[in-house]
Structure 1
Amino acid sequence: MPETTLPAQATVGRRVAFTHHRDLSKACRDQIGIITAIDTGQRAALRIRLDGSRSNLNVAPDYEGLRYLDEVVPVPELPMGRFQPSAQHPGMDYIYDGVLVVEFEDGDMVAITEDRARAEAAVATYLRDQAGIDDEADIREALADLTSRRVVFEWEPEDAECAWFMNPAVEGDDQALGVHYLPA
């Protein structure tokens, strides 16, 4: 495969505006990101990480949904290790009365709070609003399975299958968080 020719603006650290192909006809379409790496040995030579994302997109330098911005900055390192979860993190977008509720791919759920009453209220509301459960007996039955746990949240490397994992905490871990876990 011949090497891809790059425009002069295609440099590592260049800020870019990117639009997914499905959104090209929409008015508000751009997402801002940064070029994190370049590999001229492939057609999609630019690796672009959109702001707020932990993974890269491989993009051709002449893709119609790519606009090079003027700013060139150092590529920020992704945070690694433990973190305190918040609604700004991927997969943590449901909050009820200040309690984050996360549903995992396998259907398990966690309410990030040590307070059982607040966890029950948040999970019950999630089950009604997001899961569409309207039978209060089913909700009460589910809430009976809530168990208290101590966990830590840890970032995974860039491009991993999941952005983060929730892992059991060891006894005496001062960074552990109290959660209420609901198995599927």
Structure 2
Amino acid sequence: MNFNLDSQQKELFFNAMFKELAVIIFNIDKEVVFSNEKMAGALGYTPEELINVRHQNFCFDEYVASNDYQNFWNSLLIAKKSFQDKIFRKKKNGELIILESVYFPVLDDRKKVINVIKIAFDITKRESLLTTTIKKVQDSSEALTEISIDGNEKISILTDNLKEVDSLSTNNQLATKILEEDIKKYPLF
């Protein structure tokens, strides 16, 4: 499918994308050069506050200090590869935000990286709900396991009791038979 958009259609297309998607653009020094309202709001900033903020400010210290962080940027800036995954970032107030993100390098005519664009969806609520649901399922599973173990123990006790009743019944039948035979041998009347 080939889209031949005139300049007005392109502008409408990009405006619609920027309205619906959270977008942030970094320069090769890993500093914000643009953010739309949706991305800024998700991170707890205004778009103006984000200008020149370094990418590492949105990351937790452990990640910034890791080899993964350096590899992430090397992949974008040197290998010129896109990155897509669920990521954990830090909002302005220090709270966790979970994003489903796509980062991709923007190349100039000479195939040199000039910017990195990130498009993201805030999935924090969905992940929180999923975590809560998984916890409830695990708790239910543990409760059912305990009930099952308790039930098995009760069945085992009941089985032992039935064996004892059967043994007593067999002994009683034997004793009754012996009594009957004794009565026949030694009648009272």
Same-fold call, TM > 0.5?
no
Flag the structure with higher helix content.
2
TM-score, normalised with respect to structure 2? 0.19
Flag the structure with higher strand content.
1
TM-score, normalised with respect to structure 1? 0.20
**Higher gyration radius (CA):** 2
